[in-house]
Amino acid sequence: MPTRRQFLASLGAGIATASLARALPAQQAMRGMNTGTANVPMNENAYHKVELPSRGTGPSMTNVQRDALEHKIHCQCGCNLDIFTCRTTDFSCQVSPPMHRDVMALVAGGYSGPEIIAAFVKVYGERVLMEPEKHGFNLAGWFMPFVALGGGTALVVALLRRWRHPAAEPERVTELPVNATSDELARIDQLVRRDDA
Amino acid sequence: MILIGELSLWVALLMAAWGTTAGFAGAYTRRAELIASARRALFAMCGFVVLASIGLWTALLTSDFSFKFVAAYTSANLPSVYKFTAFWAGQEGSLLFWALILSIYATIAVYTARKSNRELMPWVVPTLSAIALFFILVLCFGANPYARLDWIPPDGRGLNPQLQNPGMAAHPPNLYLGYIATAIPFAFAVGALITRRLDAEWLSSVRRWVLLSWFFNTVGIVLGMWWAYVELGWGGYWAWDPVENASFLPWLINTAFLHSIMVQEKRGMLRKWNVTLVVSAFLLSILGTFITRSGVISSVHAFSQSEVGYWFLGFLIIAIAVTAYLVSTRLSDLRATAELESMVSREATFLFNNLLLCGIAFSILWGTLFPILSEAVCGTKITVGPPFFNSVNIPLGLGLLALTGIGPLIAWRRASVRNLRRQFTGPVICGVLVGVALLAGGMRAYYSVMSYALGGFVLATSLQDFQKGTSARHRMYGEPYVIALFRLVARNRRRYGGYIVHIGVVVLFAAFAGLAFKKEFDVTLRAGQTFSAVDGFGDHWTFVSQGVSDYDELNRHTTAVLLEARRNGKFVGMIKSEKRQYIDSQGNPTFEPATEVGILDKPHEDVYTVLAGVIGEDTAEMRITFNPLVWWVWYGGMIMALGGLIVMWPQAERRRAQAGYVAPLAPGFVHAEAEAVS
């Protein structure tokens, strides 16, 4: 008969593995999207145009700021890189150059960084961002490591406190008045020593 | 030879099956002849896996394109060295490589432990055979490297150009050597849990294998970083790619174990924790293999996806269930035999070190799997990229760096104020001075400032201990300082090897902190045109394009751009970056064009150029990046590996005992020691 602890451990392991197995089909759509060493062709149809009417106010940012903005947008060719890095690395990529052109058009149209990001999210969904936005379920993604670390710290401190037993201080020996002669004391001492030996 | 190899794989399957069955039956019934038979079956299995591997290498080197694997990963004009390394370039070959290393490791582990661990070994042998059986089963029925084509093509598809690099020839074997070494401690842990012999004896056998795993993982990860940097062309060495993360997880757990085992050896504490770490390192290796091979997570360098990943998922589930059961039913045997005396002690510091290492491992695992979880829960596809991992892990890494300095110098049991003052006054002053100097010099990247200040502190703690030990030897034995330093390290390899690893960690953190000053430019240059820029150190650079050239080489057509580089007006070198279109022996293009980056490397900074495209005949689109302190990554890695080698180097028991680091072998020894001291 398993103990409660064994049961909970088995249950935990079961739930974790079952939830992983359940989640697997969700990523199947990602298959075939790899480049690099995977010998799998990139997804060249992943590009969708992102456009907004020009405000006619001139460019909203410098080229350096635009490059920094492109570091926040995920190239959709399946490479795991941002569009700045992908377009300046892989000249066979069919996706990052048009995405870059869309960014340039939006910058020229006077749109700010957050507005451009929002426009991309509207077309591609959240996966176009290099990091999840901090809202809803994503908060679990952002804060869980710190929650786990906090929990771990609390556990470690609790364990340390439980384990902590100050080294016992040596017992104090109180000398009591002894009602015996020195000969008697010497005889007792000899007996004790003989027993010890 | 190829036929012998093919048949050997099937015989190895039978041997592994017999080793597993007879081994478990023999261990359970305590029948010596079955136990001995299982051991011999394991040795025989190793021999047949070696033959199977030689067979595949023969097929690769002789370009026998009747085999699907050979045709898929080599071509007739592929250089021989890459025909040899193509063994681990594809799914099937790399799985055979796993089985090869595992069976060799298992043979060495069983042979070397034949006179010790007598109670454990009957369970260790079938556990290792069972793991090998799983891999050979996958090979025979899921990804057989000896699968044949219906017809023989005139040439093979060739090896992916990105794998035609010395880094890629060495990186995977080292990672595999590290990954697979975790199977040996796992088997010992299973044996110890089943037999309930959870004293220090099994740990002393396990520690060497964990060190070996840690060493090869370190070398493999650093080689992988180097390969990514020089070959992939995106300008960095670590992208928090799922496969990179998967390789990092066992390393973190092994590092945690190598610290916490000292607490068990010295104080008899953390026994449950150490078993958990040993088991986790192996399970994370399998999880990493599952991630790499299943395609469940998008990664730039995953293997082509197949159903093999689900074999690993099944194996992972079984392994988790078995170990969870064993650990949960043996908790009472894993009770600590000593008590903590003070929160300000080395054992408490090591506990926090473990907390941070496991916290980092958790955050990486969480970030890697979160896209799957998010899609399963919300139906939303998201990307968890470098910004997430950096923001979560940089503070944790800095905390770990601080503990790297504190841990080794704080006293065991209870640190007195005097001990703290004596050990830490100098290093703290050193760290503060570094931080203040950088702030005064205008550095405002606060994480970098903290990293350098903590690096100064850790370096000072390590060097201080070297200095004290060397001076003591010089005073006591009259040895010259260099000899004294050499003997100090040689006589106490574990301690000073560890310090050398810590120095390597400091160098690595210094390199990582340098990334804050990275600068990159997107430029278009016609022949003769000039581009000027200022780097993170304030130096003025000028680049003059020498034009674009096209030419053919052995198995590729190359487009190259050459830049003349000048720093502060002085010529420093030419930088060539290329795009290569690989072709087969018929002249047909294979794969997509590959990048060959141009790097002008100096100790303080790399100038990194990538040819992104060509407009017309002589206009190059390029990215020019100033990457500070990249050399330090490679040197930091080398220093860590050197430290690991020093720690691993065998040392006579007598000397180890003198150094105070011999593992207590008799059950209850630690407890007796603790009592004697108190």
For the stretch B559-612, pLDDT in tens is 999 999 999 999 999 999 998 888 877 788 877 788 889 999 999 999 999 998
CA nearest to A37 within chain B? B301
In the structure encoding, which two tokens stand for residue A83, read together?
A: 């569009």
Is the pLDDT higher at B6 or at A172? B6
Sort out which chain B residues have CB atoms less than 8 A from A34's CB and list them.
295, 298-300, 302
For the stretch B620-659, pLDDT in tens is 999 999 999 999 999 999 999 999 999 998 865 555 554 4
Q: Do B128 and B184 meet the contact criterion of CB atoms below 8 Å apart?
A: yes
| Cβ–Cβ contact B348 with A under 8 A | yes
Taking only the tens of pLDDT, chain A with its 197 residues reads: 445 555 555 555 555 544 444 444 333 333 333 333 334 445 667 899 999 999 888 899 999 899 999 999 999 988 888 999 888 887 678 899 999 999 999 999 999 999 999 999 999 999 999 999 988 899 999 999 999 999 999 988 888 887 765 444 445 555 556 667 777 777 777 776 665 54
Choose the closest CB to A34 out of B302, B320, B595: B302
The helix (run of H) or strand (run of E) holding residue B161 is none
| Cβ–Cβ contact B520 with A under 8 A | yes
CA nearest to B160 within chain A? A37
Is the pLDDT higher at A5 or at B479? B479
Place B342 in a pLDDT band, splitting at 50, 70 and 90: confident
**What's the Cα-to-Cα distance from A11 to each of A18, B283, B314, rounded to whole Å?**
10, 18, 17
Mutate to test the interface with B, among A39, A94, A164 (most CBs of B within 10 A): A39
| Cβ–Cβ contact A80 with B under 8 A | yes
Shortest distance between the Cα of B389 and any Cα of chain A, in A, equals 9
| Cβ–Cβ contact A45 with B under 8 A | no
The domains of chain B, with CATH numbers, are 1-159 (no CATH), 386-515+638-677 (no CATH), 517-631 (2.60.98)
Mutate to test the interface with B, among A123, A149, A164 (most CBs of B within 10 A): A149
Sort out which chain B residues have CB atoms less than 8 A from A9's CB and list them.
324-325, 327-328
Sort out which chain B residues have CB atoms less than 8 A from A39's CB and list them.
160, 304, 591
Choose the closest CB to A89 out of B375, B387, B610: B610
The b-or-e profile of A18-39 (16+ CB within 10 A means b, else e) is eebeebbebbeebebbbbbbbb
Decide if B385 and A164 are in contact by the 8 Å CB cutoff.
no
CA nearest to A85 within chain B? B234
Shortest distance between the Cα of B471 and any Cα of chain A, in A, equals 34
For the stretch B200-215, pLDDT in tens is 777 877 889 999 999 9
The residues, ordered by sequence, that sit 6+ positions from A28 with a Cβ below 8 Å of its Cβ are none
| Cβ–Cβ contact A78 with B under 8 A | yes
Q: What are the two backbone dihedrals, phi and then psi, of residue B454, each rounded to the nearest 5 degrees?
A: -65, -35
User: Taking a contact as any Cβ pair under 8 Å apart, which residues of chain B between 587 and 606 contact chain A?
Assistant: 591-593, 595
Please tell me the distance from the alpha carbon of residue B489 to that of residue B478, in angstroms, as a whole number: 17
Angle at A88 between CA A82 and CA A93, to 5 degrees: 75
Name the residue ranges covered by the structural domains of chain A.
32-128
Mutate to test the interface with B, among A93, A163, A169, A171 (most CBs of B within 10 A): A163
The residues, ordered by sequence, that sit 6+ positions from A73 with a Cβ below 8 Å of its Cβ are A82, A83, A99, A103, A117, A120, A128, A129, A130
Shortest distance between the Cα of A87 and any Cα of chain B, in A, equals 7
What is the ipTM, given to two decimal places?
0.79
Place B233 in a pLDDT band, splitting at 50, 70 and 90: confident
pTM attached to this predicted model: 0.85
**Around Cβ B533, how many Cβ atoms within 10 Å?**
16
User: Taking a contact as any Cβ pair under 8 Å apart, which residues of chain A between 170 and 189 contact chain B?
Assistant: none
Mutate to test the interface with A, among B229, B280, B329, B383 (most CBs of A within 10 A): B383
Sort out which chain B residues have CB atoms less than 8 A from A19's CB and list them.
376
